[in-house]
Amino acid sequence: MTTNGFTVAIDGPAASGKGTISKAVAAHFGFAHLDTGLLYRAVGAKVLLGVDAVAAASGLVPDDLDGDALRTPEIAQEASKVAALPDVRAALVDFQRSFAARAGGAVLDGRDIGTVICPGAQVKLFVIADAKVRARRRFAELSGKGIETTFDAVLADVQARDARDMGRADAPLRPAEDAVQIDTSDMKIADAVAAAVALIEAKRAGPS
Ligand code: DC
């Protein structure tokens, strides 16, 4: 389960800032980046079209992972539901582990990367933020894209997903014992990225 390359595992709840940090860190170090939430969103989108969840997970292809089309509130909720199915999670493990092991280094962000997918990752971050702060961010993002919603609806969505993602029996959202926590509630994004970069640089330089 250890990886060949250098793996950075970044987990955390919805809109905690983990995606932004992951992208920035990957660009900084020249690592490949996989947003694993897109896998579950792609499965959720297919289920909304009537496809069986396990069949959808087993048959995913790169063209299914169109980030923009998958970032709707409906697909987010469905993703969180299919993500509680052990057979769906099992079907997605190999792809994620192969991605993590690529030679040039990889950043994977999600819910169970440090605990289940890459327990041997060289760096594990757990990114959190207050639920209202996260809902404000997600509301701004959705409004910016012209998706009509309200702050209260977004907060309810965030809280429902938190409860489902943390409460499921298989691979629940929780920090790995050796994860470093970053609370972005009152942090500028540049500072959160700088903190992550510093942690990774220290790990790359020193004995692990
Ligand atoms: O990161 P995101 O909001 O795009 O993820 C959508 C849903 O997918 C999330 O509510 C739970 C699920 N998910 C998961 O269970 N495990 C992951 N590694 C990534 C996402």
CA R_g for the chain: 16
Q: Give the whole-angstrom CA distance, residue 79 versus residue 161.
A: 9
Supply the pLDDT for residue 23: 98
pTM of the model: 0.95
**Confidence band for 3, pLDDT divided at 50, 70 and 90:** very low
Query: Are 5 and 32 within 8 A, CB to CB?
Result: no
Q: Give the whole-angstrom CA distance, residue 124 versus residue 195.
A: 13
pLDDT in tens, 151-197: 999 999 999 999 999 999 999 999 999 999 999 999 999 999 999 99
Q: Give the whole-angstrom CA distance, residue 11 versus residue 57.
A: 21
Among 37-41, 119-123, 144-148, the minimum mean pLDDT is found in 144-148
SS3 85: coil
Please say if the pLDDT value at position 4 is more than 80. no
The full set of domains in the chain, from first to last, is 7-201 (3.40.50.300)
76 lines ligand 1 (CB under 6 A): yes
45 lines ligand 1 (CB under 6 A): no
Ligand 1 pocket: which of 10, 108, 126, 165 to mutate (most atoms within 8 A of CB)? 165
Q: Give the whole-angstrom CA distance, residue 96 versus residue 117.
A: 7
- Average pLDDT for 119-129: 98
- The residue whose CA has the least distance to atom 18 of ligand 1 is 110
* Longest Cα–Cα distance in the chain: 50
The pair of three-digit structure tokens given for residue 50, joined into one six-digit string: 């009537």
**Confidence band for 208, pLDDT divided at 50, 70 and 90:** low
Report the b/e string of 85-100 with b at 16+ CB within 10 A: beebbebbeeebeebb
Higher-pLDDT residue of 47, 147: 47
Residue 68 half-sphere exposure toward CB, CA atoms < 13 A:
3
Please say if the pLDDT value at position 2 is more than 60. no
